[in-house]
Amino acid sequence: MCDLLVCDRHRQAIALKTTPGNVVAHLAKMINKGPGKTRLVKTGPVKAKKLSGKQALFTKIPICIHSPHDGGPYIGSGMCVVRDPDTGHQNVAIHRIHIKGPSHAAVSLFSPHSKAILQKYAERKQSAPMAVVIGHHPCFEIATNYFGPHDTWHEHELAATLLDETIEMVRCEHSDIVVPAHAEIILECEIKPGATEMEGPFAEFHNYYASEPSPKPRLDLKSITMRKDAIYRHLNATPYTDHQPLAVLPSEARLFDQLTRRGYQINDVFIPPWGGLFVTIIQMKALVEEQVREALLTTLFSSALLFTKIAIAVDDDIDIYDAQDIIYALGTRVNPVKDIMQIHGTQGIPYDLSLPLIPEAPPWRTGGKLAIDATKPPLAKKALREKFTRVNKQGWGKVLLEDYI
């Protein structure tokens, strides 16, 4: 079992072959390259062991209970692959899977692309195959969390771009779905039309229980294939592990791309786990104050972001990965009279318990958004900007211990 592969920029940089300070910009550049290549092969390491029939049991892998009040064991790391019955196009998304018995589970679907494909099977009253990929290079998980436009390619092809190599794929044992040949574990499942199981509760990404148990599609396990010494990839929802960064890393990259394309001087973008994924911080330099306001509004209403209700802009002398530095900027650079914009009457997501439900449209919520300019005065106001140069200790950075020992 393994976790904590991409929980911070240092580990993300290793996965993406870049530097910690360049993760978001690098990922944005790679996404813009478009899909890479895959190659279908006859077999691969993930076919080393095969379990089917009565031998195909969820108990063969170490599936955990994530949080104290969860409804049972959950697979949180499964990259779920479905195949369009008309086009053959595949979609990959991480859906949480609630284990309900030795060979059946409930799957909570989040991806609209996956839902649309599965709806085609349901309308035809056909069972829908689903392959659950567990464990691979982190670039596969990063690519799987991309939800931007990709009508002509699938997430494994994006993983090929991120890895800069051709990905070998193998066909499943019981369907035409193709999966990575070098994955750790493949669970081959099917969803029968109309079959459901109760799913939940489950502790969410913001460390709360935000939804009640409800009927979800039933997932029946047909077979398991795995490597000889397979490693189970665990992805815990709470506390801050890989779950939160993976959910938003491609979004950070897409927002970075959107802002830079508009001509803003953006250094970095960060959606911190310690903000519940509801806060987005942009690090930038602005010629005039209006650029900061525009960048903040773009952030709040960006199609790249699912959850953001608070956007904060800071300068490049503020460490956006340090909550203390963010509070420092808020405390010393924000005039509440002019530097805060509050927007009323916007739709909130079902998981945000701080917002009231819309009575006519539960589980959606209603609330607002907040934009905070915590930058220094803009470049156009040079003299005033210089007054906000941070002062440090005498000799800081010049007197080094290693010079004397």
Helices 23-33 and 9-16 sit at what angle, rounded to 10 degrees?
40
List, by residue range, all CATH 3.40.1670.10 domains of the chain. 262-386
Q: What is residue 54's predicted lDDT score, i.e. its pLDDT?
A: 94
325 CB burial (10 A radius; 0-12, 13-18, 19+): middle
How far apart are alpha carbons 219 and 49 in whole angstroms? 22
Q: What is residue 311's predicted lDDT score, i.e. its pLDDT?
A: 99
What homologous superfamily does CATH list for 262-386? UbiD C-terminal domain-like (3.40.1670.10)
Condensed to tens digits (0 to 9), the pLDDT of residues 68-105 reads: 999 999 999 999 999 999 999 999 999 999 999 999 99
pTM of the complete model: 0.94
Q: Which residues pair with 169 in a beta bridge?
A: 40, 180
List, by residue range, all CATH 2.30.110.10 domains of the chain. 9-28+37-226
H/E stretch holding 156: helix 155-163
How far apart are alpha carbons 304 and 236 in whole angstroms? 24
CATH for 9-28+37-226, options being 3.50.50.60, 2.30.110.10, 3.40.140.10, 3.90.1150.10: 2.30.110.10
Collect the ranges in the chain with pLDDT lower than 50. Answer: none
Q: What is residue 393's predicted lDDT score, i.e. its pLDDT?
A: 84
The token pair at 199 is 């799913």
**Ramachandran sector of residue 4 (left: φ over 0; alpha: ψ -120 to 50; beta: rest):** left
What is the CB neighbour count within 10 angstroms for residue 54?
A: 8
Q: What is the DSSP string of 295-361?
A: HHHHHHT-TT-SS--EEEEE-TTS-TT-HHHHHHHHHHH--TTTSEEEEEEEEE-TT-TTS-B-TTS
Tell me which residue of 308, 311, 309, 372 sits closest to 340, measured CA to CA.
Answer: 372
